[in-house]
Amino acid sequence: MKKRFLLSTVFISILLITGCATKSITKEEKALEKKEENIKTKLSFPELAASFREVVKKKQFTIPLPPLAKVDTVISDETNKSIQINFNREFSNLPFRQENVEQIYSSIKDFFGVDYSDYKFSIQTLHKPIEQLIPNYFRKDKSEFDLSRLPSKTFDRPSPVVQNISKPFKIDKGLFQRNIVLWNSHGWYYSSDEDRWEWQRPRLFQTVEDLIPTSFVLPYILPMLENAGANIFMPRERDTQTNEAVVDNDVNELKAGNEKYLEANVDKNHHFKTSEQAGFAVGNPPYPEGYNPFKKGTARFVQADSKSTALVNWIPDIPETGYYAVYISYPASDKNISDAHYSVYHEGGITDFVVNQKIGGSTWIYLGKFKFGNGYNPTTGKVLLSNMTGENPEGKIVSADAVRFGGGMGIISRNGSTSGRPKYVESARYNLQYSGMPDTLVYSFMKDKDDYRDDYQCRAEYANYLNGAPSGPNKNRNEKGLGIPIDLTMAFHTDAGITHNDTTIGTLSIYTIEDNDKKDVFPSGYSRFANRDLADLVQTQICDDIKAKFDPAWSRRQLREADYSESRRPNIPSVLLELLSHQNFLDMKYVLDPRFRFTVSRAIYKAMLRFISTQNGTDYVVQPLPVDHFQAILDNNSGVELKWQPVDDPLKPTAKAVKYVLYTRMDDNDFDNGILVEGNSFKLPNLKPGKIYSFKVTAVNEGGESFPSEILSVCWMNNKKDPVLIVNGFDRICGPATVDTKEFSGFTNFVDAGVPDKYDFNFTGTQYNFDPVSDFRTNDAPGHGASYAYNEGLIFAGNSFDYPFIHGNSIKSCGYSYSSASGEAVWDNFVDLTKYKFIDLILGKEKETHWQKAIVDSLNGTQFVAFPVKLQAALTNFTKAGGNLFVSGSYIGTDLFKPKGKDSTDIKFAHDILKFNWISDHAAKIGKVVSTSNSFIVKNMTFLFNTELTKDIYHVDAPDAIGPFGGSKTILRYFENKFSAATFYKNDYGVVVFGFPFETIQSEEIRDIVMKNIFDLLKM
């Protein structure tokens, strides 16, 4: 006999998933509990259930339950001696683990007492016992896995659509042969209601949600996943290059220059023919609604062969020297080969790819990003396709269509206008049209009436179309699609919310169990509860890593099952991530810090790696962190020795480096494909005299490749001049300065604009509303945090980690050989300074930088101190031995003097060794300096350093004024106020100090002149 009772109640606030709240229990409380237990044994089941409800109502029940969690029903089966407690959906917001599941069961059993001690309890939510909601990854034994949420192992997976075969290593325990679809929030779109192009979210705290996830995805998540071997697909454009060149077999009616499509037949039996399938044609952009450029042209094909008997060359006319994404296209069919050989000729050499032309046809397929020189360069700027195959060539073909270089500007028209913005900031809807997606299945549901709704629906349908039957677009799941088996999708957003205390809104993870047809299984047959596993893994990894490194109090919000289009529509495992709140100031302090973005992105990569490995029953290894203590030191015989140190990951100790890849660049070309190095050093002999060799190193293991090290360079001049050592002490990356009071709160770029990691496109404009109680009215008047829009669609330079090349180029012009080393290699005594008579110390915008919370300062210490104690000691010893020193940077005085006591060792170092006195920070707004005498350059000669946001040179927002001390003299002054900008001292040793970074001098010619005069001053 079963008894059912309705219990509607609100439970206790969220507790840690690792266990229930605990407290010390007094003797009186124990006695009271015993008395209550005696009472409970005398109650009937309905009375006991009512008592249970009252205890919960009064929040006296200490089990880890979320707010709004309620009990829907309690069912007692006296015959089978079982009790089933059914909780509502909100109860499932908990991330369940073995530990807290056991604690929940134990707590509830204890409550019901000895009379029900022999009953079997089942505690359920989402119509499942909570123990079944533990993700497979967190189950102790594979025998306990829920097999219903694992994909079928009988699927014959095709070879990857793209493989870079020039990489000198293989990935066995990463994401090779895996395909992931990422979409980075909203984008710039046309609003028919407003008849204008606009963001989908307001501009707040110097950015906008439409760009925030992009600042995680493009520089961090994408390369991390690709470094693990995955192919990544994005419904939005991924290339930030605003130029574009398309080379096609069809006539380009808007041909800009010398683009050439060239076919070459080595064998008369292998002729190119026109395909029966349609191909790409540029036509006449801008494109109207429904225009599919992949249906407007033709494509070509040729019979495959066991050797290269037919070739196609795509040679673009590159508008401007720079880095361009390369996309290829081709018609796919079962007749096509799965190993089409493409070669990209670029300024770093030739990179070879194998492309599976059986899948992924009639769209843009990304190969990689490469540096190309301006103009028409057949030897260093083209893509070549061969008809050679390793398969049986009988009856097989190789197809060729258009090749595209660069992301470009928007070319989709709405009501007579295009977006006026780069494609990468536009909404997915427009990129999918340009990429040949079928409009009615993928991106045009509202028939050109509501781009907003089309956009948030199209992203998932793009993933479905890539995948194809039986998991194709929801309007036709049997659509063949592109045949690329997608392993997971992630929608990345930041949602809204404000807290007026020192806490974050935190991380929310959303998944959907039922699809469009109200079914809880994917079309391929396995359970959509896999979505919950993915959402849990992503949220857990993010929150754990943020708490460990940035904020011990980071808020973990719900693991929410909810009906959102972006989590419901994908017919493969998916998660909708709301990382934090773009409306909350503390959350945004983290967002604008590149260090935070790297850590979160690595957490997302690790979570995806774990999920995919669990789903497929494979082992995994996490890729290593970048190496440090890098040095590139010339030997005495035209060679260079390179050394570096691996870096352990405290968040994943098993992410160890096993081998390394050394990449080399000649002069100002691009890096090559790298060579595999067994240990943490390498010797390169026989350098060409007068050539600058630049190097970067990555660490590799079975799981993939790390991000690269900083870039060091050397030049051997084959003369008797003493070599120079360049020390790169500039490794700072951080967000802008902040002020946070009850009356004034926000980002104060006028104090310190921070330092982007390589480049930044996230910045819309400076904040202008600093009133914390200013209310949101509309997207155009969003209240607190409202920011300008003058920088939208523009990229500006940050720390490139490549400044030894710029300094070295000027040193080379003076006829000197040079080596280079990282700052930490010098202050940890990895480099012998006694070998040198001249050191060029690069400090850029290096400055002591605090974390977002003082508690993290106390735990981790601050970062990026310009002159650490050990560096001061090394430079003191160097100068006392008669060495000559050139130091440049914008915070040299600020970091040593402010705030310091009069007897500070830092100030003594500035006075006694560097021979300067600090006068002022923010010494100049205009980057113009003037020479003070003929002893340095020419008296009254002026030149410029960069103080503006530009794409090529980082801007100096707060140069230092530094005055003479201890016998030094001023050699440069800021033009606008005549403050001292640089000092010079020469006696028993020599030292030149600039209060602005040398590398930001705008003209290479002027840099060379300045460097020569520094050598002359120091009598080198």
Average pLDDT for residues 374-392, to the nearest whole number? 97
Contact by Cβ (8 Å): 995, 890: yes
Summarised one tens digit per residue, pLDDT across range 400-434 is 999 999 999 999 999 999 999 999 999 999 999 99
Average pLDDT for residues 931-954, to the nearest whole number? 95
Q: What is the pLDDT of residue 496?
A: 81
Contact by Cβ (8 Å): 787, 204: yes
Q: What is the pLDDT of residue 27?
A: 55
Summarised one tens digit per residue, pLDDT across range 208-226 is 999 999 999 999 999 999 9
Average pLDDT for residues 598-603, to the nearest whole number? 98
- DSSP assigned state of 671: B
Per-residue HEC secondary structure of 19-50 comes to CCCCCCCCHHHHHHHHHHHHHHHCCCHHHHHH
Task: Flag the least confident range among 103-112, 775-784, 796-805.
Answer: 103-112
Q: What is the pLDDT of residue 74?
A: 87
Contact by Cβ (8 Å): 924, 976: yes
Q: What is the pLDDT of residue 9?
A: 33
401 CA to centre of own chain: 31
Average pLDDT for residues 376-386, to the nearest whole number? 96
Residue found by looking up tokens 């996490």 in the block: 622
Gyration radius of the chain's alpha carbons: 32
Specify the 3-state DSSP secondary structure of 618. coil
pLDDT band at 703 (very low <50, low <70, confident <90, very high): very high
Summarised one tens digit per residue, pLDDT across range 305-364 is 999 999 999 999 999 999 999 999 999 999 999 999 999 999 999 999 999 999 999 999
Write down the mean pLDDT value for the chain: 93
What span, in angstroms and rounded, lies between the C-alpha atoms of 990 and 839? Answer: 10
Q: What are the C-alpha distances in Å from 573 to residues 217, 218, 486, 515, 586?
A: 19, 22, 9, 11, 32
Average pLDDT for residues 954-976, to the nearest whole number? 97
Q: What is the pLDDT of residue 858?
A: 87
What span, in angstroms and rounded, lies between the C-alpha atoms of 898 and 364? Answer: 53
More confident: 546 or 53 = 546
Contact by Cβ (8 Å): 912, 991: no
What percentage of the chain carries pLDDT values higher than 90? 86
pLDDT band at 860 (very low <50, low <70, confident <90, very high): confident
**pLDDT > 50? residue 937:** yes
pLDDT band at 18 (very low <50, low <70, confident <90, very high): very low
Q: What is the pLDDT of residue 10?
A: 31
**pLDDT > 90? residue 500:** no
**pLDDT > 70? residue 453:** yes
Q: What is the pLDDT of residue 923?
A: 98
Average pLDDT for residues 260-286, to the nearest whole number? 91
Q: What is the pLDDT of residue 887?
A: 98
Q: What are the C-alpha distances in Å from 186 to residues 365, 428, 452, 603, 692?
A: 22, 8, 9, 22, 43
What span, in angstroms and rounded, lies between the C-alpha atoms of 399 and 537? Answer: 41
What span, in angstroms and rounded, lies between the C-alpha atoms of 262 and 330? Answer: 16
Task: Flag the least confident range among 28-37, 578-587, 643-652.
Answer: 28-37
Contact by Cβ (8 Å): 940, 917: no
More confident: 709 or 12 = 709
**pLDDT > 60? residue 22:** no
Average pLDDT for residues 739-764, to the nearest whole number? 96
**pLDDT > 80? residue 38:** no
Task: Flag the least confident range among 77-86, 424-433, 482-491.
Answer: 77-86
Average pLDDT for residues 733-754, to the nearest whole number? 96
pLDDT band at 24 (very low <50, low <70, confident <90, very high): very low
Q: What is the pLDDT of residue 590?
A: 97
pLDDT band at 29 (very low <50, low <70, confident <90, very high): low
Task: Flag the least confident range among 54-58, 155-159, 393-397.
Answer: 54-58
User: Looking at 635-781, which runs of residues are DSSP E strands?
Assistant: 640-645, 659-666, 675-677, 681-684, 692-701, 704-705, 712-715, 724-728, 738-740, 745-747, 759-760
1018 φψ region: left (φ > 0), alpha (ψ -120 to 50), beta (else)? alpha
Average pLDDT for residues 751-758, to the nearest whole number? 97
What percentage of the chain carries pLDDT values higher than 70? 94
Total number of residues shown for the chain: 1020
Q: What are the C-alpha distances in Å from 54 to residues 8, 47, 59, 85, 811?
A: 10, 11, 9, 16, 80
Instruction: Report H helices in 59-97.
Output: none
Residue 65's nearest CA partner among 107, 25, 11 is 11
What span, in angstroms and rounded, lies between the C-alpha atoms of 55 and 12? Answer: 11
Q: How would you class 73 by CB atoms within 10 Å of its CB: exposed for 0-12, middle for 13-18, buried for 19 or more?
A: middle
Q: 532 phi and psi, to 5 degrees?
A: -65, -40
Q: What is the pLDDT of residue 15?
A: 34
Q: What is the pLDDT of residue 758?
A: 98
Q: What is the pLDDT of residue 59?
A: 58
Average pLDDT for residues 710-738, to the nearest whole number? 97
Q: 691 phi and psi, to 5 degrees?
A: -100, 140
What span, in angstroms and rounded, lies between the C-alpha atoms of 930 and 280? Answer: 56
